[in-house]
Chains A and B, each alone.
Chain A
Amino acid sequence: MPLTTVHEAKTQRLEILDPEGRVDAALEPKAPKEKLLELYKKMTEIRVFDERALKLQRQGRLGTYPQIIGQEATQIVPACCLEPKDWLVPTYRGQGAYFARGMQLRYSLLYWGGDDRGVKFPAENNDLIFAIPVGSHMTQAAGLAWAEKLKKTNAVALCWLGDGASSKGDFHEALTFAGVHKLPLIMLIENNQWAISLPRAQQCAAETLAQKAWGYGAHGIQVDGNDPLAVYRAVSEAVARGRKGEGPSVVECLTYRMGHHTTADDASRYRTAAEVDGWKAKDPLARYTKYLKAKGLLDDAAIAATLKDAEAMVADEVKAYEAFPKPSPLDMFANNYDKAPWMLVEQRAELAEVLKEKASRNEIAEVPPAEGRFP
């Protein structure tokens, strides 16, 4: 018997805007003007925020912070392709996604400022708090999509993950479930080329991460993740497939982590400035601005006004963050169970007594690495 080909797949890359902002008209999504401008505004706002948050951390006014600079398109655009009923399942590098869905930035600051109150989603949204253990949210996203399918709500689940997270067993298990049950799940890989110090090439020997999709009966596509239009188109199509009952999709977005892994990291230890500079030329916001200008939707005055408004909004958010009253130590006993069991009642009372006696004498050791705090 001759060998026969039983499976063949081809993985495509979608690019619509080139780095100069020139558009491939055949692929240009037909989004209304308001939508296009909304994306621009939010990308600008989150960039301003990100730069401000970095400064706050450097000034000791914020804890470890994971920057998203350079990933504005993959943060903002996918979130704007959803309806509130859809599940938003971001990672810890997800301030942009939450913001795009309406969470005030003060809460992101609170969280990274070490305050458990730093989570407050708009009531009508299906937003999930992110997981710090990388990738542990992916099978949960499959479960969310599954529930929506069972409830026949026509809602989808959009799960962000990094190139690093795609190596976790959870990725395999999430897509296995999603494929078998034809779940409305979108796995959006923000391939920013690095997982802390590990480059993409050492993360996985496959040529693309998108092609993993085919192994699970999912649809896979690679996208220029610094091209807001390509991200918009690919995610919208994946959402539509989900709503039509056509099963899960993998959207691999090629982007770049312009900053350190977090404020605790020093990326110069493992990557070259030349590499970073190369990606500067592909900046998603600059490219999108050129496109909107060429389209006649933006002019210099509008650009300046958007930036000014963004700065004022971010300043207000920082003010609101710093005006939050300090959390009470006794608060940590709330929300551990539906009803606090006896030992928590006793322990809370004990802490109240301790606090009356003396302020905590625990000292925080700002351990290592010299350049910052933590990954």
Chain B
Amino acid sequence: MAQKNLLQGINDGLRQAMEKDPKVLVLGEDVGLNGGVFRVTEGLQKAFGAERVVDTPLAELGIVGASVGLSLAGMRPVCEIQFDGFLPAVMDQVICHMGRMRNRSQGRNSLPMVLRAPHGGLIHAPEHHSESPEAYFTHTPGIKVVIPSTPEDAKGLIIAAINDPDPVVYFEPKRLYRTVKGEVPDAYYETPIGKARIARAGTDLTLISWGAMVHTCLKAAEELETDGVSVEILDLRTLTPLDWDAISASVEKTGRALIAHEAPNTGSWAAEISALIHERLHYKLKGPVQRVGAWDIRQPLFQLEKYYIPDAHRVVRGVKKALNRQPV
């Protein structure tokens, strides 16, 4: 085992998957010679050649459409969209084809492809480089959506995504790329898709989160602890299909829940989770589920970004509201 950052975890996973299966190929803008603009695919072209680590023309819809075709014909493409903000252009393929091929072909065709994209903000980047568009994908039937928050899961989830018979969208919390470090096993392993992780155990409230926001929640939890509040943090890891068992087990125990995320609340994945908890655990709840998300406005340029994406203080506030306490 070695200490690695999240980016190295992904790189490790991609490398081992490519070693295992010659059908795995990586494609996207600047992923080859340049190793990706964040260097996630660093060294892969050197190791596996330009036929398997492909620098594509600048055409996102082409990248995803071609990946649909590649996977339909037996390859295992891992395509990259360079930034979350450029995902809207690929939704035609995602919604109309990626999520439907298995069903439309009456089960004959599956699309074992992975669509990777960086996720989230707070990295001082230009416009459209800091978005959290997961809800557009979680809303789409037929695809799975995952997002790690630790280097270990980053590796295990990319391997699981590549091996999954269905199309998987793999979000990479970009502000964690180099800021989060942890033990990463050297072996080839999967982090199971559909399984959440308890990032911190607690008793008073379940804090549900994913991606970089898990780390904001961990900070909030420390603050809350000094105030005598014990929160349990659930790192979802997979957004679809949700690990309902993990959510219900924790919320039944604590009786309260708050969902913290980086996207605007309206129509968000947090809204879906809140609805599920209310529908299914209504009588176990001691109070209404709360959400802490970004505001329902266009994401501002980076000077104001830190006021747009929730910080630990806003999570603490949300928890106190959920506990019917005055905000600090």
Within 8 A of A (CB), among B60-85: 60-62, 82, 85
A interface, over-half SS: loop
A340 to chain B, nearest CB (A): 9
**Binary CB contact string for chain B from 98 to 138 against chain A (1 if under 8 A, 0 otherwise):** 00000000000000000000000011111111000000000
Q: Is A4 an interface residue (CB 8 A)?
A: no
The 8 Å CB contact of B304, one of A118, A135, A168, A327, is A327
Binary contact readout A165-198 vs B (1 if CB under 8 angstroms, 0 otherwise): 1011100000000000000000000000001111
Taking the closest CB of chain B, its distance from the CB of A120, in whole angstroms, is: 15
A351-B295, A351-B307, A367-B178 as given contacts; A374 in contact with B37, CB under 8 Å: yes
The number of chain B residues touching the other chain, given as a range, is 35 or more
Complexed CA–CA distance, A65 and B237 (Å): 34
Nearest Cβ distance between residue A250 and chain B, in whole angstroms?
Answer: 17
Give the residue of A164, A197, A374 whose beta carbon is less than 8 angstroms from that of B33. A197
Does A369 count as interface, using CB distance less than 8 angstroms? Answer: yes
Specify which of B37, B56, B59, B178 is in contact with A169 (CB 8 Å cutoff): B59
Cβ distance B42 to chain A, nearest Cβ, rounded Å: 9
Contact between chains at B306 and A362 (CB < 8 Å):
yes
User: A residues 303-347 with Cβ under 8 Å of B?
Assistant: 326-327, 329, 331-333, 336, 343-344, 347
Contacts of A202 in B (CB 8 A): 55, 57
Indicate whether A374 sits within 8 Å of B301 (C-beta atoms), given known contacts A167-B59, A198-B58, A344-B296: no
Shortest A210–chain B CB gap in Å is: 17
CB distance from A140 to the nearest CB of B (A): 14
Q: Determine the distance from Cα of A374 to Cα of B128 in the docked complex, in whole angstroms.
A: 12
CA distance A115 to B124 in the complex (A): 11
Q: Whole-angstrom distance from the CB of B133 to the nearest CB of chain A? A: 12
Q: Are B34 and A270 in contact (CB under 8 A)?
A: yes
Chain B residues lying within 8 Å of A357, measured Cβ to Cβ, are 313, 317, 327-328
Contact partner of B298 (CB less than 8 A), chosen from A169, A336, A358, A373, is A336
The A-contacting residues of B in range 148-200, CB under 8 angstroms, are 174-179
Interface SS of B by simple majority: loop
Residues of A within 8 A of B179 (CB): 365, 367
A203 touches B125 (CB 8 A): no
Cα separation A347 to B291 with both chains bound (whole Å): 13
CA–CA, A203 and B57, complex, Å: 5
A354 touches B297 (CB 8 A): no
In the bound complex, residues from chain B placing their C-beta under 8 Å from that of A135 are 58
A136–B89 contact, CB under 8 A?
yes
Q: Considering the complex of A and B, which 7 residue pairs feature the smallest CB-CB distances, nearest first?
A: A114-B302, A164-B58, A197-B34, A362-B306, A329-B307, A167-B57, A114-B303
Contacts from A to B (Cβ < 8 Å):
63-64, 92, 111-116, 118, 132-136, 164-165, 167-169, 195-198, 202-204, 264-265, 269-270, 326-327, 329, 331-333, 336, 343-344, 347, 351, 353-355, 357-358, 360-369, 373-375
If A195-B58, A196-B34, A343-B266 are given as contacts, then 12 extra A-B residue pairs at C-beta distance below 8 Å, sorted by A number, are: A64-B124, A114-B126, A132-B85, A169-B59, A195-B29, A198-B29, A329-B307, A332-B295, A332-B297, A351-B295, A368-B39, A375-B30
Can you give 10 A-B contacts (C-beta < 8 A)?
A: A63-B124, A64-B124, A114-B304, A116-B303, A133-B86, A136-B89, A164-B57, A164-B58, A368-B177, A374-B126
